[in-house]
Amino acid sequence: MERLNELLERIIQRVNVNLREPLFDVGPYVRGLVPWQQLVKFYAFYGITPHHPLNFHFSRSNLSGSYFLGKCHVTDSILYKTDIRGDELKRKGDFFATEGFTIPLQEDETIRVRDCFLIKTLVHNNSHDPEHPEEFIIQNTVSTHFANIHGSVVEGCFMGPFSTVDLTTVHDCVIGEYAYVQAGELSHRQVPAGTVWVKSGERFEFVFRHHPETLQRYVRFRPGSPPEGLFMEFIDRRKADYQRIFDVVKLQTPFSMPPGASFNRYAVIKPKTQIGRNVLVAQRAYIENSWLGDGANAQENCYILHSRLNGNNVTAHGAKIIHADLGPKVFVGFNSFLQGSADHRLAIGPGCIVMPHTIIDLEAAVHIPAEHLVWGYIRTPQDVAAHSLPLARLSALSGEETLGAMRFKGDGRLFVEGFKNRIEHILEANGAYCDGAAQRGHAQQSQDISFNLIQPYPEGELKGLYPTIDIHP
Distance CA 288, CA 306 (A): 6
Three-class DSSP category at 321: strand
Residues 183 and 306 in one domain: no
Are 221 and 294 found together in one domain?
no
Q: What's the confidence (pLDDT) of residue 237?
A: 96
* Structure confidence at residue 17 as a pLDDT band (50, 70, 90): very high
Contact (Cβ atoms closer than 8 angstroms) between residue 12 and residue 26: yes
For 439, other C-beta atoms within 10 Å of its C-beta total 15
Asked if residue 22 has a cis previous peptide bond (ω within 30° of 0), the answer is yes
CA distance linking residue 12 with residue 17, whole number of Å: 9
- Asked which of 24-38, 100-114, 252-266, 374-388 is least confident by mean pLDDT, the reply is 252-266
- Asked whether residue 200 falls in the same domain as residue 264, the answer is no
Q: What is the DSSP letter of 181?
A: E
280-306 pLDDT, tens digit per residue, is 999 899 999 999 999 999 999 999 999
- Can you give the residue range of the structural domain that contains 186? 2-234+449-471
Q: What is the pLDDT of residue 176?
A: 98
What's the average model confidence in pLDDT over 218-231?
A: 96
Same domain, 202 and 295: no
**DSSP assignment of 103-156:** EE-SS--EEEEES-EEES-EEES----TT-TTEEEEES-EE-TT-EEES--EES
Give mean pLDDT, residues 157-169.
96
The pLDDT value recorded for residue 1 is 67
Question: In this structure, are residues 176 and 192 in contact, taking their beta carbons and an 8 Å threshold?
Answer: yes
Enclosing H/E stretch for 38: helix 36-41
- Better-scored residue on pLDDT, 258 or 254: 258
**Higher-confidence residue: 346 or 242?**
346
Query: For position 274, which CATH number holds?
Result: 2.160.10.10
Cβ atoms 100, 60 nearer than 8 A: no
Q: How far is CA 467 from CA 11, 75, 111, in A?
A: 19, 12, 20
Q: Is the pLDDT of residue 249 over 70?
A: no
Number of domains observed in the structure of the chain = 2
Tell whether 461 and 319 lie within a shared domain.
no
| pLDDT tier, 278 (very low <50, low <70, confident <90, very high otherwise) | very high
What's the whole-number average pLDDT of the chain?
Answer: 91
pLDDT at position 398 is 95
Residue 53: pLDDT band with limits 50, 70, 90: confident
Within this chain, do residues 421 and 454 fall inside the same structural domain, yes or no?
Answer: no
Burial of 378 per CB tally in 10 Å (0-12, 13-18, 19+)? buried
Q: Of the ranges 44-58, 136-150, 358-372, which is most confident?
A: 358-372
Percent of the chain with pLDDT over 90: 62
